[in-house]
C-alpha cells in the first residue's frame, strides 16, 4: 500500500493538468486521460487570485503566462442601474504588497495551453479520446486499474479523478447522484475591445441587481473584455450542462441596466450558457488508491471567483502529500487539509448570491449601503475579510 511510482489522472482541465505537473515535479510517472479528442477550453476568462497564483508560480508558469495576463486595478461592486459604487478594493500593487503575489485575469484557453505545453515538456503522457468506463483496485498488487471504452486497461499506483462535476470516478466511488441545479444560469462570452462603443474600466467589476448580476473584466493585456451574466431560473431542463446561448435573450434579460452593461452586451455576437450546479459535501474524497480533486469533489458557485483556484490548490497539496507521506496516510492528510478550506469557500460563494442579487428587500439594500460605508471609511476591514482567501499559501511548508 505504500509505494507510489505511476499516477493516472482522469481529466485534462485546469485542475487535472495542474495535478499532472505537480506530480511530475515530485518525480512521479504521470499519465492524463481525457475523453475529448482535441485539447482546448471554451473561450472564457479566469480570475487568478494570489492564492492560486502562488501555485502557478511554484509550478514554473509565471513567465509563460505573463504576456497573456491583465492586471486589474480594483475589485468593484456597482449598482445595476445607477452605476453607484458599493465596494472599491484596490488590487494591482496593493495585492502584491499585502499577499506577496498579484491578482491576474487570464483567458482560460491561455492558461490551459501553457499547462499543456508544460506537461509535454515534463514528459507527461496525454492520452486523448480516452473515455473512462470504470476502475478496479487490485489490493494484492497494490495497484488500481482504469478501464476505457475501447477495451484498454491502464494500471497505476494512484488514480486521481479530476473529471469535473459529472465525474465518473466520483460516481463509482460514492454512487450515482445527479448534481443539484442551483436555480441559476451563467452566460459567458468574450468581446474584442475593438468592437466596443463604450469604455470599460480596468477593474474586476460586479454589477449587482435584482435576481441577477453581471461581471466584466479585461483579458489578454486589455485586448478583450470577458463577461459573465448570472440570472436566477427554475426552468433548466436541458440534459447538457453547457450549451450555446441565445444572445438576444441575454440582452433582453439585462435591458434597462447601466449603459456600460447594455452597450457592452450590444457588441456581443455569441455566448455560452452554463447551468450552475452543485453537490452536498461529500462524505469522503478518497477510497483506497483513488482520490478526487476540484469540481469532482467540491463544485462551487462562481460568486467568489475561486472555482479554478481551489482545483489549483488541490493539485499542489495532493502532490506534496503523496510525496511526503506513506500512501496509507497521504490521501487522508490531503482531505484533512483541503476539505475544510474548500467547504468554507463553497459557503462563502453561496452566501454572496444573496448580496449580488439584492435579496432581502430593504434589508438587502441596507447591507449594500453598509458595505459602501465600510469601503469608504474602514477599507482595511473589508480587505481583511479577504485575507483568509487570498492570503492562503499552500506552497509554504
Residues noted as catalytic: 217
DSSP 155: E
Angle at which helix 307-324 crosses helix 14-25, to 10 degrees, equals 30
The three grid cell numbers given for residue 275, joined into one nine-digit string: 447551468
The three grid cell numbers given for residue 358, joined into one nine-digit string: 439584492
The helix (run of H) or strand (run of E) holding residue 3 is none
DSSP 70: B
CB 186 within 8 A of CB 274: yes
Q: Report how far residue 374's alpha carbon sits from residue 98's, in angstroms, rounded to the nearest whole number.
A: 19
CB 391 within 8 A of CB 99: yes
CB 226 within 8 A of CB 298: no
CB 32 within 8 A of CB 158: no
Q: Report how far residue 16's alpha carbon sits from residue 116's, in angstroms, rounded to the nearest whole number.
A: 10
Angle at which helix 307-324 crosses helix 327-356, to 10 degrees, equals 170
Give the contacts of 103 (CB within 8 A, at least 6 positions apart).
Answer: 47, 48, 49, 50, 53, 71, 72, 75, 91, 92, 95, 204, 390
Q: Report how far residue 371's alpha carbon sits from residue 364's, in angstroms, rounded to the nearest whole number.
A: 11
Residue with grid cell 486521481, as numbered in its chain: 160
What region, left, alpha or beta, does residue 349 occupy, with left being phi > 0 and alpha being psi -120 to 50 degrees?
alpha
Pairing status of strand 224-232 against strand 212-219: antiparallel
CB 253 within 8 A of CB 261: no
- Residue closest to 115 by CA, chosen among 235, 18, 194, 228: 18
The three grid cell numbers given for residue 367, joined into one nine-digit string: 447591507
- Residue closest to 368 by CA, chosen among 200, 213, 202, 203: 213
Amino acid at each position: 500500500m505504500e509505494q507510489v511510482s505511476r499516477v493516472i489522472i482522469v481529466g485534462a482541465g485546469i485542475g487535472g493538468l495542474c495535478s499532472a505537473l505537480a506530480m511530475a515535479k515530485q518525480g512521479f510517472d504521470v499519465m492524463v486521460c481525457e475523453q475529448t479528442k482535441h485539447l482546448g477550453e471554451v473561450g472564457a476568462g479566469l480570475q487568478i487570485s494570489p492564492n492560486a497564483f502562488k501555485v502557478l508560480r511554484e509550478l514554473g508558469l509565471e513567465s509563460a503566462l505573463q504576456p497573456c495576463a491583465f492586471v486589474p486595478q480594483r475589485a468593484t461592486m456597482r449598482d445595476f442601474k445607477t452605476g453607484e459604487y458599493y465596494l472599491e478594493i484596490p488590487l494591482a500593487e496593493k495585492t502584491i504588497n499585502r499577499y506577496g503575489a498579484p491578482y491576474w485575469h487570464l483567458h482560460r484557453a491561455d492558461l490551459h495551453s501553457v499547462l499543456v505545453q508544460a506537461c509535454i515538456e515534463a514528459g507527461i503522457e496525454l492520452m486523448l479520446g480516452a473515455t473512462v468506463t470504470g476502475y478496479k483496485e487490485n489490493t494484492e498488487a497494490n495497484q488500481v486499474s482504469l478501464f476505457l471504452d475501447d477495451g484498454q486497461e491502464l494500471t497505476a499506483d494512484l488514480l486521481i479523478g479530476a473529471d469535473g462535476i459529472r465525474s465518473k470516478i466520483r460516481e463509482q466511488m460514492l454512487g450515482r447522484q445527479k448534481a443539484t441545479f442551483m436555480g441559476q444560469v451563467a452566460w459567458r462570452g468574450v468581446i474584442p475591445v475593438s468592437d466596443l462603443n463604450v469604455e470599460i474600466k480596468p477593474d474586476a467589476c460586479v454589477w449587482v441587481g435584482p435576481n441577477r448580476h453581471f461581471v466584466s473584466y479585461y483579458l489578454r493585456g486589455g485586448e478583450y473584455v470577458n463577461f459573465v451574466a448570472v440570472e436566477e431560473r427554475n426552468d433548466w431542463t436541458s440534459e447538457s450542462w453547457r450549451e450555446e446561448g441565445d444572445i438576444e435573450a441575454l440582452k433582453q434579460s439585462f435591458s434597462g441596466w447601466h449603459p456600460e452593461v447594455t452597450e457592452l452586451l450590444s457588441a456581443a455576437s455569441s455566448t455560452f450558457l452554463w447551468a450552475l450546479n452543485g453537490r452536498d459535501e461529500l462524505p469522503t474524497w478518497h477510497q483506497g488508491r483513488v482520490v478526487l480533486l476540484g469540481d469532482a469533489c467540491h463544485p462551487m458557485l462562481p460568486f467568489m471567483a475561486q472555482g479554478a483556484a481551489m482545483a489549483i490548490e488541490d493539485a499542489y497539496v495532493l502532490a506534496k502529500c503523496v510525496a511526503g507521506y506513506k500512501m496509507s496516510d497521504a490521501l487522508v492528510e490531503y482531505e484533512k487539509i483541503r476539505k475544510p478550506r474548500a467547504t468554507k469557500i463553497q459557503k462563502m460563494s453561496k452566501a454572496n448570491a444573496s448580496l449580488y442579487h439584492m435579496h432581502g428587500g430593504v434589508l438587502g439594500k441596507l447591507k449594500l449601503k453598509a458595505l459602501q460605508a465600510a469601503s469608504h471609511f474602514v477599507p482595511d476591514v473589508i480587505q481583511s475579510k479577504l485575507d483568509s482567501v487570498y492570503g492562503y499559501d499552500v506552497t509554504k511548508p
